[in-house]
Amino acid sequence: MLLELARALCLPHRLVATLPLMICRLWRGWATNQNADAYERIVREQVIPGIEARRIPGFRAIDLIRRERERDVEFMTLMWFDSLDAVKAFMGADYEVAHVPAQAQAVLADFDKRSAHYQVLDRRDQPR
């Protein structure tokens, strides 16, 4: 089921005239209802700007998504890269290890210790 979810999330329907091979890096974390807003704030104000400031060649975009659940709040990041080499420029040789700074870990109840990476096979923008 997680694989199907990842495929659905990592394959947004967007038309691109010439699409090079892309990699979608998927990661999940869970916060208590009480800590969810704090976690979101840390990611939006510190973690993402810190990644962007590195100006990693081949890093294209990052999406932060949130899902309210009965007992907690689930977060997912989707990072878009041109290639696995670009992911390795971000994380190093052990590129699957999760990037979760200490201040983010402090407010999470649990998180994936490793990220999953998917080849983007088809991406299609729809007319507005």
C-beta of residue 81 within 8 angstroms of C-beta of residue 90 = yes
C-beta of residue 81 within 8 angstroms of C-beta of residue 23 = yes
Q: What is the pLDDT at residue 122?
A: 87
Domain regions of the chain by residue span: 2-11+21-120
Q: Which CATH number fits domain 2-11+21-120: 3.20.20.140, 3.30.70.100, 3.30.230.10, 3.40.50.2300?
A: 3.30.70.100
CB atoms within 10 A of CB 96: 14
Nearest to 53 by CA among 107, 83, 90, 80: 90
pLDDT tens profile 63-121: 999 999 999 999 999 999 999 999 999 999 999 999 999 999 999 999 999 999 999 98
The pTM of the full predicted model, rounded to 2 decimals, is 0.82
